[in-house]
Structures are given as structure tokens and as C-alpha cells.
Structure 1
Amino acid sequence: MRIEQIYTGCLAHAAYYLEDQGEAAIFDPLREVGPYINRAKKDKAQIKYVFETHFHADFVSGHLDLQKQTGADIVYGPSAKPGYEAIVAEDGQEFKVGRYTVRVIHTPGHTLESTTYLLINQNGEMHGIITGDTLFIGDVGRPDLAQHVIADLTEEKLAALLFDSLRNKIMTLPDHLIVYPNHGAGSACGKMMSKETTDTLGNQKKVNYALRADMTKEEFIDELLTGLTTPPGYFPQNVLMNLKGYDSLENVMQRADRPLGPEAFEAAANETCALILDVRNPEEFAKGFIPNSINIGLNGNFAQWVGELIPSVKQEILLITEPGKEREAITRLSRVGYDGVIGFLTGGFPTWKDSGNEIDSIGRINAKTFENMMITNGIELFDVRKRSEFNSQHVLEATNIPLNELNQHLASFPKDKPLVLHCAGGYRSMIAASMLKQRGWENITDVQGGFAAIKETSVPYTDYVCPTTLL
């Protein structure tokens, strides 16, 4: 028997592969299913089940493509109502994978159908629990997502259900069980997740704030709901795709595989409502880019920021990537439901530049130059980090407009004064700068190295406040 965690860092996502005696199961797979199929082939195993812990909000699952390509049965927990063929299991129902048993434990709270899967080995011994978004390492799933899809739910009702699920279904299990969650630090599905991606249940009972034995239901609800940020706008759209079904990744890739030369690319941009998305590193983008394009770099939290800043998963997209990165970009967009890529620039930005087409750029300065600018004054400084980051420590004269709120606060950015933007290191501030450029702001400068570099200068900033005390 083997149980393996398959972790994808850019989404802070964990899928699980269970195999015994030639039978396999996949838990919460991502949309590109090739790695799971290849993993089973390596063991000469047949994928028998695809277990889903709930209808995911932060990514499009690969359950339908796995079912199509392997014949595996899709399994959900009680109360799920998928719009396709699947097994909706009863609480306590068991499934066999080789000699292993997978027992369904209905744990509503994150969503109504949220389910934990208890793994029992060939000797009848409990080994671990695959908890989905019910229990993370150091945290639990936020209860404010499902009501965006189911109107009569409230986050308070779901939080109360989660309290009962944790106390009555999870905390009664043996301490030695290994907790296998669906996400780690960086996911928007919780607020204080650990960088660790597994732990024992016994240790979580000691260190996880939500599992305190002396906590009342009212205290749990209050602590769980305090400090939650607004969920990304694409979350309910992904829930509906996972619930109702979606196009196969193969079809998405075929539609997007459309290399365009500079002339054809420009024509497509002019003739459609496509968004020009440049996924190069911020440093390269700043030096030169196609006018009206926005920058969200592949080498950061790409999928998260695409979902935060592009309102509709149906948005048509034209891509600019480093040569050879086209397929990766298309795949990572599809993971969060953005299936609307209609082409990419052959050869990347250099082919556009070499053709003599118009280009734009964004100024970047180092922290020392920024320090001199602050002394002479005359600039408007904007910090686009999260509010918790800003509140913990910031430049005294900075105005905080978090990147995910930029579209709602455009009027806060003056057009008649020089603007200087920074984030923690330079990734988010370049996204913000590109978005402002696209909307008509001209005099924009980005600080290389962000707040980390600014702190090495004499620019005054506030004393540090631990973020956990701000919740």
C-alpha cells in the first residue's frame, strides 16, 4: 500500500494517490490528469475511484477527465448534487481500494457536502484522514464560500456546522492519524494555514486554534469569521464548473494552440474583446511590452492573481509568454477555469519589437533612488500589499490599496501627479502598474525589491505588529 501527496505549489494544492494490489484512487485531482494516470501506470494499477472532498472553489478539478480516460467512478459525500454521473455516498459508506478501505465521514461546514475520507489499512487499522478543506494544518476551511452559490446559506450557519463536524466527527478520532489536507500556506481557502502540509491529528488538537477543547461554539464562530478577506471573484464560477461540468482540457488546449505572428496578433487584439496577458517576469515586462497588456508573471502566484483580477472565467485572452512557456501558461489558466485563450504571440515579445510595432514601458527605481525621491517629495506612494501586511508594517507616508481591490479604487490614483508603487518584493506592484497603464495612467514608477528593499534605507516606516494580533 502507498499513499502519496502530489503537491502543486502555485495553487498551494494537494492531491492524493492511494494504491494497493493494482487498484488506485485519486483524491481532489487538478485538471491536468496526465500525472495521475502516469503514476498509476508506473504501478501497473487501474484507477478505480476519484474521490472529491467537496465542490472546489479555487480550482477546476480533474474528476471528469479522469472518469472519461480511465473509467473510474467519481465519489462525493452526502448531499452533493453533481450535474453528471457520480456516486453520492452515504455517511459511513466504505469503498475498497485493494486491501485498503476508504470510509466516508460527512463533515459539513466549509460547504454542505464537505467530506473527510478515513483511510483504513489491510489490518483494520486507521492510518489517516484526507480532510479536503474541513481541516488544514493550523487552520480550518473558511465557511463563507458556499453561500455565494446557495442563496439561503450564511457563513454563520456553515461555521456552526463546521464546529459540530470537527468536534463530533474529527476530534473523536485517534491522535495518531495523519491529517492530509487539500491546501497549504498561500491558499485563499483559509487564513492561517501552516507551511507544513501534513501532521498528526493529535498535534493539531494541541496547536490548531480551531480545535481547542475548551472553545464554545460561539467563540469558534467569532474566531473563524474574524479576519476573513473577500474571497476571489472567480471562486463561485469554479464551484459551478465543478458542480455542473466543464469542457475537457484536451479541447481547451486545442483551441488555445494558435500561434500568431505580430500582424495576426494585432488583428486579433483589435477585432475581439480579448485581454492581452503578458506572463513574463516583472523585470522583463517593465523594459518593454505591447500597449494595453497587463502583466501577471508565471513565476509568482499566477493562478491566484488571474482569478482575483480577471472578473470572468469566460474572458477571451491573448497570451505573451517567454518562448516555450505557452503550454504551461494555458494549462495554469485552465486550472482555475480560464479556458478562453484564443492565441499566443509566436516568438514572444521580441518578435513584436523586431517588427517595429509600438511598445510601452514602466519605470523602475531601486530603493536608494526611492529614498532620494522621498526626501525631495512630490510623489504619491501606494502600497499594494494586503491590508494585514500593511498594518503590520509600512512606510509612514504610504497609502494602502491592496492589489485585489485596485479595480474598485481607481479614483484614488491621481493622474496629475507622479505615482510610485511598491509591494513586498516587486511582483504585485508590477501587476498594479500594468493595470493602471492599461487604463490611462502614464507617470508610474515601480520600486524594485519592494518593501523589503525600502527597509534597508533611511525611509521611515512603522514599528512591526504581528499580523496574528490584527485578526
Structure 2
Amino acid sequence: MKIEQIYTGCLAQGAYYITSAGEAAIIDPLRETQPYLDRLEKDEVELKFIFETHFHADFVSGHIDLSRKTNAPIVYGPTANPEFEAVIAEDSQIFEIGDIKIKVIHTPGHTLESSCYLLIDEQGIEKALFSGDTLFLGDVGRPDLAQKAADMTQEELAGLLYDSLYTKILPLHDDITVYPAHGAGSACGKNMQKETIDTLGNQKKINYALNQNGKADFINAVTEGLLPPPAYFGMNVMMNKKGYHSFDEVLSKGMQAFTPHQFEKIAETSGALMLDVRNNSEFAKGFIPQSVNIGLEGDFAPWVGALIADVNQSILLITKPGDEEEAVTRLSRVGFDHVLGFLKGSFESWKSMGKETDAVNRISAEEFEKEIAGNVVKIIDVRKENEYEAEHVNEAYSKPLAYINEWINKIHPKEHFYLHCAGGYRSMIAASILQARGYRNFTEIEEGFKAIASTGIPKSDFVCQTKVLK
């Protein structure tokens, strides 16, 4: 028997590949199927089942394409109602893969169909729990995503989650290994650990949600402090439930190369978003006017989903040469299937044709320190609230990037301000959006608070007052 966790850091997502005696199972696969097909061929095993823990909200699973290519059935837990052929398992149903067994444990709460899969090894020992979004390391699945579909409140769903965890999961042996669907950085929970594997016994000790004094306390604990889910979540759920275009078709279309003239014409006539996925340092020096920068090297897909939101938005890509396929692939993982193509030769080809370019006014932290010394200035910090609360520049406004569409209109276009994040990734996203919408009277700080921290600029580790943009 072999268990392999296939962890994708930019999505904080874990898929699982299990083999035994010539047969295999895959749990919660990513959109692109070729890596799984290559593993199956290399190991000379037959894919027997594709297990889905629930209808995912934060990414589009590869279950449908993988089933088409291997003829392996897709398995969901009880109450699931996908609009394609699938096996809807019963609670406690057993599936055999080679010499091992997978037991379905229906654990509603995160969603109504949410299920965990308990692996029983060749000796009949309960060995591993693939817990999906029911149980994370340090947290549990948020109970607010399925409210509309379930016609229930988040408190009612949290109550179901309590019953699932406390009556079905906590009684399991302490030495069982827990393999969750997500880790730190995922928006599917609020308190996840950076580790991706742990024992159930340790989680019983340290997971706050598993140490509550009754259902009422549990409901309060897991619903407190939940931020609104990203707008694209609902659309991803529908794609996972209803079906989607083949990834091969999406990739083929997205890999069309356009000359600068073709690119410009399509941009002007199609309503497509020009998405520049180059490094923020490269983007700052020069870019196509009206393009938005979300760097491929950071948390690319989640930020695309959070800020663009509509998965049906058509997209034109500007990438570093050689990054085109990676960009299309990572966009498809969160349901953005309408990439029209990319700029051949990247930004340099556009520039060499003498076409209009733009740039961001970026300065170093040292220059920032000199400019603000003794002056009254406006500073906008686009990091998360908890980062700001830990330490921030005195008098800076906390305006997280995730809420830019809410605060951008409160900025006076003629009043200069400084803009920073933790390291330059998020502030450049904000800068590109600001300039695309006509805001130009600002200065962005290179390397963000990481560089600011080493200067003598006054900083604070508490919020002394609520600052409101005027």
C-alpha cells in the first residue's frame, strides 16, 4: 500500500493518490489530469475509484475529466446530487482497492454531502482519515458556504458539523493519520496549521473546535470571525456539480499566441481583461495600460478568484516567455476557463513595436522614510487586518486588498498617498487596479513592510483609533 499526498501550495490544497495490489484510488484531484495518468502508468496500476469529499468551492476538481479518461467511477457521499454519472455512497459503505478498504463516513456540516474516507489497511487496521473540509489541522470546515443550497443558517450547519465530528470522528483511534483537503492559506477555514499531515490524537488535543464544552460553544467558536467567502466560490461549486469544459480544450484555446497588433485589437473589441502575471518588479517598470498585475509566483489563483470574481470573464495573458501554460492551468483550477490567448514575445514585443506603455511610481523604503519625515502624509496598508494589528506604520490606514472594490471609491483622486503590503506582491496588484481605474497620484513602496520594518519610520503594534478614508 502507498499513500501519496499531492499538495498544491498556491491553492493550499491536498489531493491523494493511493495504491494497493495493482489498483488505485484518487481523492479530490486537481483540474489537470495528466500528472495522475502518468503516475498510474508508471506504477502500472488501474484507477478503480475517484473519491470526492464534497462539491468544492475554492477549486474545480479534475474528477470528470479523470473519469472520462480512465472509466473509473466518481464516488460522493450520501445526499450528493451531481448532474453527471456518479456513485452516491451510503454511510459506512465499503469500497475495496486492491488489499485495502475505504469506508465512507458521512459528515455533513461544511456541506450536506461532505464525507470523510477512512482507510483500512491489509491487516484490517484503521490507518488514515481523508477528512476533506470536515476536519482541518487546527480547524474545521466553515459552515457558512452551503447555507443557500441547504436552506439552513450557518448556525444550523455548524450544529450538524458538531454532530459529525463529535459522534463519528472523535471516537476513532488516536493514531489514525489525518489527511485534510486544505492547509494554511485556504479560505475554507480560519485557523489552519501550516502542517499538512497529523495524527487524530494530536488534533484532539490542540484543535480548538474539538475541545468545546458542548454544541452551543462549538457553534459560537466556529462561526465567530468568519470573513465573507470569495465571490467565485459559488461558481466553482456549480462547475463541480454540473460539469465543465475539458481541461484539454481550455488549455488548447488559452495557448493561442497573438502578435502585439492582434492582441491590441482583441483587447479593444472583446471586453477581455488584460492580466499580466509577471513578477511585480518587472510590472512596475513597464506594462500595457489598463492591464492588471497578479503575479504567477504568489497566491495567484486565489487572488484571481477573489478580485476578478466572475469565472466567465474573458482574459488575455501577458506572461514571462514560457509561463503561458502554467498561467492557463492555474486559472482553470479556479474555474477561469475563458483565456483567449497570450501576447507573443511578452511585454518586450509590445514595447519594441512602439506601443503605449505605463509604469508604477515605486520607491524604496529608504526613500519613503526620507519623503515622509516631518510631513503629514496618507499611507494605505493593504495587508490583512491581523498583519496590520501585529505591527504597522503609525497613522496608516488598514485597507485590505481583498476589499479594494469597497474602499477604492473613498480615495480622493487628487490627494497623494503611499501604498504598501508585506513584500510588494499585493500592493502591486492594488496599484495596477488603481491605475486601471484612473487613480495615479500615489507612490508604491518596494518590498513593503518587510523593508519598512528595518527603517526608523515610527511603527505601532496596536490600533489606537478607527481610521476612515475620506
1:227 paired residue number: 225
- Retained in 1: the 8 A contact 2:389–2:461? no
User: Is residue 340 from structure 1 mapped to residue 324 from structure 2 by the alignment?
Assistant: no
Superposed displacement of residue 143, structure 1: 0.8
Please provide the CA RMSD for this pair.
1.1
Rounded to whole Å, the distance in 2 between the matches of 1:299 and 1:32 is 19
Superposed displacement of residue 462, structure 1: 1.3
Q: Which amino acid aligns with 1:369?
A: E
Gaps of 5+ in 2: 464-470
Rounded to whole Å, the distance in 1 between the matches of 2:150 and 2:86 is 24
Instruction: Name the % identity.
Output: 57
- How does 1:430-445 map onto structure 2 within 5 Å? 430-445=428-443
Rounded to whole Å, the distance in 2 between the matches of 1:250 and 1:244 is 18
Say which SS state the counterpart of residue 10 (structure 2) adopts. helix
Superposed displacement of residue 380, structure 1: 2.0
TM-score with structure 2 setting the length: 0.97
Say which SS state the counterpart of residue 162 (structure 2) adopts. helix
- How does 1:14-93 map onto structure 2 within 5 Å? 14-93=14-93
1:178 paired residue number: 177
Map Cα deviations across residues 316-344 of structure 1 (whole Å, 9 max, x no partner).
00000000100000000000000010111
Superposed displacement of residue 419, structure 1: 2.2
2:156 paired residue number: 157
Rounded to whole Å, the distance in 2 between the matches of 1:154 and 1:418 is 44
Superposed displacement of residue 464, structure 1: 6.2
User: Is residue 317 from structure 1 mapped to residue 324 from structure 2 by the alignment?
Assistant: no
1:245 paired residue number: 243
1:135 paired residue number: 135
Rounded to whole Å, the distance in 2 between the matches of 1:377 and 1:280 is 34
Map Cα deviations across residues 179-233 of structure 1 (whole Å, 9 max, x no partner).
0000111111111111110100001101111111x52111111111112111111
TM-score with structure 1 setting the length: 0.97
Moved over 3 A (4+): none
Rounded to whole Å, the distance in 1 between the matches of 2:422 and 2:9 is 19
Q: Which amino acid aligns with 2:303?
A: W
Rounded to whole Å, the distance in 1 between the matches of 2:453 and 2:121 is 53
Alignment length, in residue pairs? 463
Question: Using a 3 Å threshold, how does the CA distance of structure 1 residues 409 and 463 change in structure 2: closer, same or farther?
Answer: closer
- How does 1:262-277 map onto structure 2 within 5 Å? 262-277=260-275
- Retained in 1: the 8 A contact 2:116–2:132? yes
2:359 paired residue number: 361
Match of residue 286, structure 2, among 288, 292, 299: 288
Superposed displacement of residue 461, structure 1: 1.5
Say which SS state the counterpart of residue 234 (structure 2) adopts. helix
- Retained in 1: the 8 A contact 2:230–2:309? no
1:199 paired residue number: 198
Superposed displacement of residue 151, structure 1: 6.0
Map Cα deviations across residues 289-319 of structure 1 (whole Å, 9 max, x no partner).
0000000000000001000000200000000
- Retained in 1: the 8 A contact 2:56–2:240? yes
Rounded to whole Å, the distance in 2 between the matches of 1:200 and 1:421 is 43
2:12 paired residue number: 12
Q: Which amino acid aligns with 2:163?
A: D
Rounded to whole Å, the distance in 2 between the matches of 1:399 and 1:463 is 13
Rounded to whole Å, the distance in 2 between the matches of 1:307 and 1:51 is 25
Rounded to whole Å, the distance in 1 between the matches of 2:235 and 2:281 is 32
Superposed displacement of residue 376, structure 1: 4.3
Say which SS state the counterpart of residue 11 (structure 1) adopts. coil
| Higher mean displacement: 139-148 or 332-341 | 139-148
- Retained in 1: the 8 A contact 2:179–2:198? yes
Say which SS state the counterpart of residue 31 (structure 2) adopts. coil
- Retained in 2: the 8 A contact 1:379–1:417? no
Rounded to whole Å, the distance in 2 between the matches of 1:406 and 1:304 is 15
Rounded to whole Å, the distance in 1 between the matches of 2:461 and 2:8 is 35
Q: Which amino acid aligns with 1:294?
A: V
